[in-house]
Amino acid sequence: TAGITQAPTSQILAAGRSMTLRCTQDMRHNAMYWYRQDLGLGLRLIHYSNTAGTTGKGEVPDGYSVSRANTDDFPLTLASAVPSQTSVYFCASSEQGANSPLHFGNGTRLTVT
Amino acid sequence: GQNIDQPTEMTATEGAIVQINCTYQTSGFNGLFWYQQHAGEAPTFLSYNVLDGLEEKGRFSSFLSRSKGYSYLLLKELQMKDSASYLCAVMDSNYQLIWGAGTKLIIKP
């Protein structure tokens, strides 16, 4: 089944440790996104990529980095985790165009202790 | 600043109709999206409006008034499986999506 795969599903991480959240899509979408979702808040964009080889900062990029070496993969790295990064992280992709809906992965639930 | 407002929670009865409102203040407008998100799952796309008026898609309809900065999602013949959060998102002039916090809809038998 075509779609977006995220890994891991959940993770408990000690503060100060690093971690990479993986995201792979097989729909050949050019645009990919990383969001975090926290209770009582709307989805907040961390980083995005409009096409392979390019990335951009979203609303809340501090403490996170991304790369886009190819069309399919868009990993998100936390270099030194802090408790405020406890959240549910969603990767998404879309075709180009303002009216193109986002396709979301199933999310990674991250707890930083 | 940019803002999307939705009610936090609504309750409705199985078989009834419910209207979920969304008001927005954004820098420009390039369309409004509605997504459904069941607890513990990913959001899934429901509808897209860019012109004023009503878009109907089965039991779900979405309405837009750009002059009023207002949209609503109308759900008819409610089923228990419609219990979910409904997210409103507006694409601004920079083609960035601004998200509301979502409306949790509880369906009672």
Report the residue of chain B nearest A39, measured CA to CA.
B101
Residue A96: pLDDT band (50, 70, 90) is confident
Distance between CA A12 and CA B28 in Å, rounded?
40
**pLDDT in the model for residue B1:** 77
pLDDT of A71 above 90: yes
Q: What percent of chain B has pLDDT over 90?
A: 95
Nearest to A102 by CA among A22, A39, A64, A45: A45
Q: State whether residue B96 sits within 8 Å of chain A by CB.
A: yes
Distance between CA B104 and CA B11 in Å, rounded?
8
Distance between CA B63 and CA B32 in Å, rounded?
10
CB contact under 8 A, B87 and A106: no
**pLDDT in the model for residue B11:** 98
